[in-house]
Amino acid sequence: MSSSTLPLSTAAVLSGSAGFAAELAPVLNPARTSEVVGWYAQASVEVVDDVVRAAAAAAPLWDALGALERGRLMAAAATALEHGIDERAELLTREQGKVLWESRLDVGGAPRLLDYYAGLAATLDTEEVVHDERGTTVIRRVPIGPTVVIVPWNYPVYLCMMVLAPALAAGNPVIVKPSELAPLALTETLAILARHLPPGVVNVVPGTGPAAGAALVGHPLVRKVLFTGGTQTGRSVLRGAAENITSVSLELGGNDPAVILESAVVDDQLIREIRRSVYTCTGQVCFNIKRLYVHRSRYDEFVEQFKSAVDEIVVGDGLHPESTIGPLNNRRQWESVTALIAETERQGGTVDVLGRAHPEARWNDGHFMLPSVITGVGHEASVVGCEQFGPTVPILPFDDEDEAVRMANDTEFGLAASVWSSDIDHALALGRRIEAGSVFVNSHRVGSSDMTMPFGGMKRSGLGRNHGMWAIDECSELQALSHRLDTASFPGPPTH
């Protein structure tokens, strides 16, 4: 199957329907926009209805298999997904733009996450049974029902699997709506997964957000929506789910602060770690560092070392092994970061444009942007207050830690944050004062959070928590099944 026909045919196959006619839209390579990498079908409301009904029909069987058997099937799919990672990673780089090692991390997350939740599934069949003098109560975890997964374009495979694998383990059929900006590698991944599970358990609905996405969210048979994307879209999803009282979990944007304390050792390791956290995926990760607060006593040395490390960055096609970062994913993102940088300059900030272009990068045919470092701005600057989602970062000095905590918390977001110091106890104590779902000490990268830690946002960064049993809870219902011999302890109306 060629990637150019995959989204259409996969949607038809996975939904169990005979196929459907739909308009095709191209997926363009962000490093050379004249190249069409593949096509995705724009599913209509009728197709959405067809697929949701197929998922709802599969729900009782998937539940009845039991968690142990579900885990066994998921583990087999994980083994199959170990093959072909390099090919799917290359496809992901061509549609998403990021460098190959990041695409491998993204695509390689699928088998790892499926395997992890397959293992966790083995523990899910047990029920809590309470016998006491009043009778018996069984507390059961039951699947919530057909679950829609709406996926963004930055880490499409990993972010989809992070919520899809626990939804499957908990006994729910899933319907995935990939991002129209990077649907291909994810759809290939889901096609392999679907082949290992009963028909109708894993479904794909390609299409745009306002059409296919909104129709899925508002469908009356959908019981859960797991959404990852922008805060504004998250609001639409909540509104769309309200009509049917559909449960929603949201992983939204972040404006993650990193606070570098006076006690931090500003060495090569710290500088490289922070550089990685800012510029990974060309700055387009929800929990990348988005603002840096550095104690005034360390400010000059930090800025100097950081700028010289950023100057080593090579921007090019993600397929070129020498590229450190790729282009931005899409034109709208490029325009929004470009406008933000221009506004920063108008507001009096200094923007140092660093790094260099890869000699083979087709600069005018891609969404390329050199990395930059911003100094000379106050806390009120636009670039400090928003999620820039691009290869630039403001660095601000602070004089005392209360001021740093106040600035770190002065945001509508609350996804992640980090504190950097050689005094770990002190950094941990300061971390307690930061309003974020995850606070890391001396690290802040993809991998700083793992399955043993809840992951999710406070404030407008999201609703609900991911990872481990927290993720299973997000897509399960609890039922109390009770037979009590004596309910008289709860007084009723007086009888005469």
Which residues are the active-site residues? 177, 251, 286, 387
Q: How far apart are CA 37 and CA 29, in angstroms?
A: 6
Given a contact cutoff of 8 angstroms between Cβ atoms, the answer to whether 144 and 476 are in contact is yes
Range in contact with ligand TXE (rule: CB under 6 A) among 90-98, 125-133, 149-157, 160-168: 149-157
> Which of these segments, 135-143, 233-241, 320-328, 404-412, binds ligand TXE (CB under 6 A)?
233-241
Distance CA 303, CA 305 (A): 6
Interatomic CA distance for residues 262 and 278, integer angstroms: 21
What contacts 492, CB < 8 A, 6 or more positions away? Answer: none
Minimum CB distance to ligand TXE, residue 177 (Å) = 6
Q: Is 252 in the site for ligand TXE (CB under 6 A)?
A: yes
Phi, psi of 197, rounded to the nearest 5 degrees: -120, 160
Confirm or reject binding of residue 408 to ligand TXE (CB under 6 A).
Answer: no
CA 418 to chain centre: 19
125: nearest Cα among 71, 67, 73: 67
Which residue, 181 or 303, is less far from ligand TXE as judged by CB?
Answer: 181
**Per rule CB under 6 A, is residue 150 in the interface with ligand TXE?**
yes
Given a contact cutoff of 8 angstroms between Cβ atoms, the answer to whether 366 and 34 are in contact is no
Q: Which is nearer to ligand TXE, 239 or 296 (CB)?
A: 239
Smallest distance from ligand TXE to CB 182, Å: 9
What x/- string results for residues 300 through 339 when contact with ligand TXE is judged by CB under 6 A? ---------------------------------x------
Q: In whole angstroms, how close is the CB of 99 to ligand TXE at the nearest point?
A: 18
Burial class (CB in 10 A: 0-12, 13-18, 19+), 52: buried
Pairing state between β 314-315 and 356-357: parallel
449 touches ligand TXE (CB under 6 A): no
In this complex, which beta carbon is closest to ligand TXE, that of residue 173 or of residue 456? 456
CB of 208 to ligand TXE, least distance (A): 6
Nearer to ligand TXE, 180 or 401 (CB): 180
Q: Which residue type is seen at 275? A: R
Is residue 106 within the footprint of ligand TXE (CB under 6 A)? no
**What does the per-residue mask of binding to ligand TXE show for 364-403, with x meaning CB under 6 A?**
-----------------------x-x--------------
Query: Which among 16-24, 80-88, 90-98, 223-231 is the span making contact with ligand TXE, rule CB under 6 A?
Result: 223-231
Determine the interface stretch with ligand TXE among 91-99, 129-137, 209-217, 437-445 (rule: CB under 6 A).
209-217
Question: Pairing between strand 462-463 and 314-315?
Answer: unpaired
Question: How far, in Å, CA of 73 to CA of 54, rounded?
Answer: 20
Residues whose CB falls within 8 Å of the CB of residue 436, separated by 6 or more in sequence, listed in order? 256, 414, 415, 416, 417, 457, 458, 461
| Residue type present at position 315 | V
CA distance 279 to 315: 11
Nearest CB to ligand TXE, comparing residues 153 and 293: 153
Positions that interact with ligand TXE (CB under 6 A): 150-154, 177, 179-180, 208-210, 213-214, 217, 228-230, 233, 236-237, 251-253, 286, 333, 387, 389
